[in-house]
């Protein structure tokens, strides 16, 4: 077990040929019923977005920062809406802790984001936008760490 929180665990499973597979397992609440498409049932977009913001709060993996930044850049949801969706997805969502999770963007390294097709310049943009959101949440205008 690599990481564990209330309803989330990260596991590394080693197969018979010594290949390691990482698994993320979580219990997630869905506010909205699934949407039915030709390919089958999928999450309602509000649930998917809320879960992604809540994942940044609870797990703060590289992909969570990139996904939340992409959601914000889409312009489909305002920051207040994103926070409301995260609160619905995670009853333990705490704004102060979320601000600290956002500040964790500083630890992202170029080699971690390359696998997602993100360049160094794009990473700097992600960091700038996420830092600004953390400062906005703190409400004091002071920059975050780094």
The reported pLDDT for the residue numbered 143 is 46
Asked if 27 and 7 touch (Cβ cutoff 8 Å), the reply is yes
- Contact indicator for 22, 11 with CB cutoff of 8 Å: yes
Q: Is 40 helix (H, G, I), strand (E, B) or coil?
A: strand
Structure confidence by residue, pLDDT tens digits, 97-144: 999 999 999 999 999 999 999 999 999 999 999 999 999 999 865 544
C-alpha 101/C-alpha 130 separation (Å) is 10
pTM of the predicted model as reported, rounded to 2 decimal places: 0.78
The H-or-E segment that residue 24 falls in is strand 20-26
């Amino acid at each position: 077990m690599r990481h564990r929180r209330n309803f989330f665990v990260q596991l590394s499973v080693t197969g018979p040929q010594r290949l390691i597979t990482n698994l993320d397992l979580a219990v997630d609440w869905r506010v909205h019923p699934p949407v039915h498409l030709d390919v089958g049932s999928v999450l309602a977009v509000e649930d998917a977005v809320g879960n992604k913001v809540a994942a940044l709060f609870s797990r703060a993996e590289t992909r969570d920062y990139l996904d939340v930044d992409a959601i914000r850049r889409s312009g489909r949801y305002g920051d207040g809406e994103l926070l409301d969706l995260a609160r619905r997805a995670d009853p333990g969502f705490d704004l102060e802790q979320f601000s600290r999770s956002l500040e964790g963007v500083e630890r992202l390294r170029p080699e971690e984001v390359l696998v997602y097709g993100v360049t160094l310049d794009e990473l700097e943009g992600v960091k700038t936008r996420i830092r600004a959101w953390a400062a906005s949440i703190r409400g004091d205008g002071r920059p975050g760490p780094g």
